[in-house]
Amino acid sequence: MLNDLKQQPADALLALIKLHNSDPRADKIDLGVGVYRTGDGETPVFAAIKAAEKKLAEEQESKAYLGPEGDMGFVEKLMPYVFGKANPTMDGRIEGMQTPGGTGSLRLALAMVKRAGYKRVIVGKPSWPNHNQICADLGLGVLEFNHATPDGTTDMDALRGAIASAEDGDAILLHGCCHNPTGIDYSNGEWDEIASLLASSKILPVLDLAYQGLGHGMEEDAYGLRRVLATVPEALICYSCDKNFGLYRDRVGALYAMVVDPADLARVMSNGHALARANWSQPPDHGAAAVRLVLEDEALTTQWLAELDQMRDRMREVRATLASAGKTGGVDLTPIGIQNGLFSIVPFTAEQVQEMRTKHGIYFAGSGRINVAGLTTGNIQKFIAAVADVTA
Ligand code: LMR
């Protein structure tokens, strides 16, 4: 029976890690999986997290189980950053639970969507490939709409059309900020419109906020999410701390549900707890506990936010340098300057992606998605020259 299982392709994005590692060239460039890198090409642990981890090692007295909801101190401390300091629970309508990374949160959210009787999820194209994989694995249908126009702006007409054509039993998955893979986000004005379109539909919003603080700032990057939550009756919110706390492999995330009546919250969330129990039982503690310690300590919070500012500023500089290269070979790098977060798409053909790897030792996803944080003062001119070479 096990022998009947069919060979599955390796995850294309994760396979890039090995491909890059096995290239012996000293000047190879990794623009693949989404991790932040400093100007020296390192992905260090945040100093604020290191300090919190030391504190944790000294002060943690037990590693006994916490339950399927994980560290609720972590979950609650994060809420003012996500939902706003003024009313972080939206009058008692929001509650959350800890999950293993943003993926764990999406898995639970979409499993709850399925359990609640929704049949289909409206997803932008392109989206993070795992969005569609999770939907497929859960047996949820997907309705795709075009996310961006060729000139590098959002395709609002396509989104309007998808919302207008939605049926009963549809949910919609939207990236809160720093769209993965395009870096093309909705403007505040567009979010205002999306919020009112969703308010007059029956679509359940599932909002994925995996890069808060990497676009324009912690508050700015929450604008769209907060606008939608202010207008709709119910929503699910998937959060990742992997990038904005640099905790990648520690897998730190949270799932929040917003309901109409606070009295329903415990019942709704009991489904999240039951699904977690059936999937991973309880989330790993360490990273979330470190985030909680950062957020409980004013000095560590200030330090973390300053480190996040530095990351964002560096990515803005990289984007500005790429944009100033303008028309490079057969592609225009200018739009990258106004895009956000770790990713942008350069419209390479499949052959050009291969040539960038084989001829120049530059690795990025087959979609042409580059992780701009992989570019440094030391390698950015090599990248620009290679783009000119393969696209000329
Ligand atoms: C990415 O898109 O590179 C990140 O979200 C990492 C991942 O798990 O795919």
Query: What is the model's pLDDT at position 152?
Result: 87
Start-end of CATH 3.40.640.10 domains in the chain: 65-296
Query: What is the model's pLDDT at position 352?
Result: 97
Ligand 1: distance of its center to the CA of 255 in Å? 18
Ligand 1: distance of its center to the CA of 240 in Å? 11
d(Cα 157, Cα 145) in Å, to the nearest integer?
Answer: 9
* Nearest residue (CA) to ligand 1, atom 1: 34
**Is the pLDDT reported for residue 172 higher than 90?**
yes
| 65-296: CATH, from 3.40.50.2000, 3.40.640.10, 3.40.50.300, 3.90.1150.10 | 3.40.640.10
Average pLDDT, the chain: 97
What are the distances in angstroms from CA 272 to CA 264, 267, 282? 13, 9, 11
Q: Which atom of ligand 1 is nearest to the CA of 32?
A: 3
Query: What is the model's pLDDT at position 192?
Result: 98
Q: Is 240 in the pocket of ligand 1 (CB under 6 A)?
A: no
**Is the pLDDT reported for residue 99 higher than 90?**
yes
Q: Which atom of ligand 1 is nearest to the CA of 365?
A: 3
Start-end of CATH 3.90.1150.10 domains in the chain: 11-45+299-391
pLDDT band at 143, cuts 50/70/90?
Answer: very high
Mean pLDDT score, 216-244: 98
Query: What is the model's pLDDT at position 151?
Result: 84
**Is the pLDDT reported for residue 150 higher than 90?**
no
Q: Is 127 in the pocket of ligand 1 (CB under 6 A)?
A: no
Ligand 1: distance of its center to the CA of 230 in Å? 29
Token representation of residue 22: 């096995």
| From 30, 71, 242, 243, active-site residue | 243
Q: What is the pLDDT of residues 31-88, one digit of tens each?
A: 999 999 999 999 999 999 999 999 999 999 999 999 999 999 999 999 999 999 999 9
Query: What is the model's pLDDT at position 10?
Result: 87
| Phi, psi values for residue 391, rounded to 5° | -100, 0
Amino acid at residue number 193: E
Query: What is the model's pLDDT at position 28?
Result: 97
The pTM assigned to this predicted structure is 0.96
CATH superfamily for domain 11-45+299-391: Aspartate Aminotransferase, domain 1 (3.90.1150.10)
Mean pLDDT score, 147-164: 95
Candidate from 20, 33, 105 with most ligand 1 atoms within 8 A of CB, to mutate: 33
| From 71, 155, 170, 208, active-site residue | 208
What are the distances in angstroms from CA 33 to CA 37, 365, 373, 382? 11, 8, 10, 20
**Catalytic status, residue 128:** yes
What is this model's ipTM? 0.94
**Is the pLDDT reported for residue 198 higher than 90?**
yes
Ligand 1: distance of its center to the CA of 292 in Å? 23
